[in-house]
Structure 1
Amino acid sequence: MPILFRISLRIAGNEEAAEDLCHDALIKMTEKNMQFPSLNDAKYWLIRVVINASLNYAKRKGRERRAYERALKEDKRTVDSGETALLKQDAVARVKTAMDKLPPNLRAVLHLKEYAELNYKEIGRVLGITEGNVKVRVFRAREQLSRLIGEDDVYMP
């Protein structure tokens, strides 16, 4: 399912890992011989499993990266090919940093809305909350992101 891959890729940040996490979720569903009342129920269950697995993967990789950086005292400087590339990288980094500062419940709805391209009703079913609650969380998440980033401080090509 492309939607599972997109969600996992956005959270995990690694194509191979995203493929593996999606594959593992599908295997888990077949091994447990799970039965769902409808195809949509199966879809939402798989999305929830992939989100949780991807979040766990991202946390684990973050801890490993920090441990390596401390152990090796790696130089974090990068060489860029030009001003535009630098501005784009800075914008992406600022957005990711701001997203990481959001509470998990707000971050989850933004991931599902913007990267998985789910509608409010689908997000509500995935997270087990009402459609109205999803709308409120998306609004609050976007509001907090704009405060954290500053609307004029991000490079937009």
Structure 2
Amino acid sequence: MQTGSDKAESTIYAANEADFRKVYDALMALLFKVSYRIVNDEEAAEDLVHDSLIKMHEKELVFPSLDDAKYWLIRVVKNASLNYAKRKTREKKAYERFLKEDRRQTDSGETELLKAETLRRTREALEKLPVNLKTVLILKEYAELNYKEIGRVLGITEGNVKVRVFRAREQLSKLIGEDDVYLPR
């Protein structure tokens, strides 16, 4: 039988750094496996697990035991991973639909060439941005995080995120040269 003091020692306080580290060390590999099996992308799986651990920490959750923390985190990671996978599937379908529609509207090889050139130039320009600007732009445009979430992820204020996104877009525009970009109508 567990005594009151034994039970207190097994309680996990997510806001406590030592308890958070204990949870992280004990469960990171397991949570990664769960997420990876769903999303089939190492980087995304790692991000989803880290986001779930951060959520647990920020909510300052208290668990009666490490097992309770484990089961809660597995549910959170599983749900986040399923949502991510669904979103990626929807994005892929929307992208494919867009490409099919676009092909029906124009048979022009010139249009396809302009699109490919724009995509290439955009990627090159993105790579030229300073890391802090590139990171916020990727989180905003590709990860679809809002300013508050980006601030949490990077440990900066929401205002700072807005400034960085604005500056990143401005620099990207200059690097690409807006007049030379193909934009389908």
TM-score of the superposition, structure 2-length normalised? 0.46
Measured after TM superposition, the shift of residue 149 of structure 1 is 0.8
> What does 1:7-156 correspond to in 2, within 5 Å?
19-24=41-46, 36-38=57-59, 82-156=109-183
Aligned CA distance change for structure 1 residues 27 and 118 (closer, same or farther; 3 Å):
closer
Letter in 2 for 1:36: H
Q: How big is each residue's C-alpha offset from its partner over 1:5-39, in whole Å with a ceiling of 9 and x where there is no partner?
A: xxxxxxxxxxxx96233335567899x9xx52429
Query: What's the CA shift string for 1:122-152, capped at 9, x where partnerless?
Result: 1100100011110110111011011111111
Alignment partners' CA distance in 1, 2:161 and 2:132: 10
| Cα distance between partner residues in 2 of 1:145 and 1:25 | 26
CA 1:18–1:142 in 2, change beyond 3 Å: closer, same or farther?
farther
Larger Rg: 2
Residues 119 and 153 from structure 1, CA distance in 2 versus in 1: closer, same or farther, beyond 3 angstroms? same
Distance 2:179 2:160 in 1: 29
SS in 2 for 1:156: coil
Aligned-residue Cα RMSD (Å) equals 3.2
Once residues 158 and 182 of structure 2 are traced to their aligned partners in structure 1, the CA distance between those partners, rounded to angstroms, is 33
What is the CA–CA distance in structure 2 between the aligned matches of 1:122 and 1:26, rounded to whole Å?
13
CA distance in 2, matches of 1:99, 1:111: 9
AA partner of residue 135 (structure 2): A
Check 1:84–1:104 CA distance in 2 against 1; reply closer, same or farther (3 A cut): same
Letter aligned with residue 21 of structure 1: E
CA distance in 2 between counterparts of 1:135 and 1:36 reads 25
Q: Which runs of 5+ in 1 are unaligned?
A: 1-16, 47-80
Name the aligned partner's letter for residue 132 of structure 1.
Answer: G
Q: How many residues align?
A: 100
Q: Show structure 2 runs of 5+ residues with no match.
A: 1-38, 61-72, 78-107
Q: Which has the higher contact order (CA 8 A, sep 6+)?
A: 1
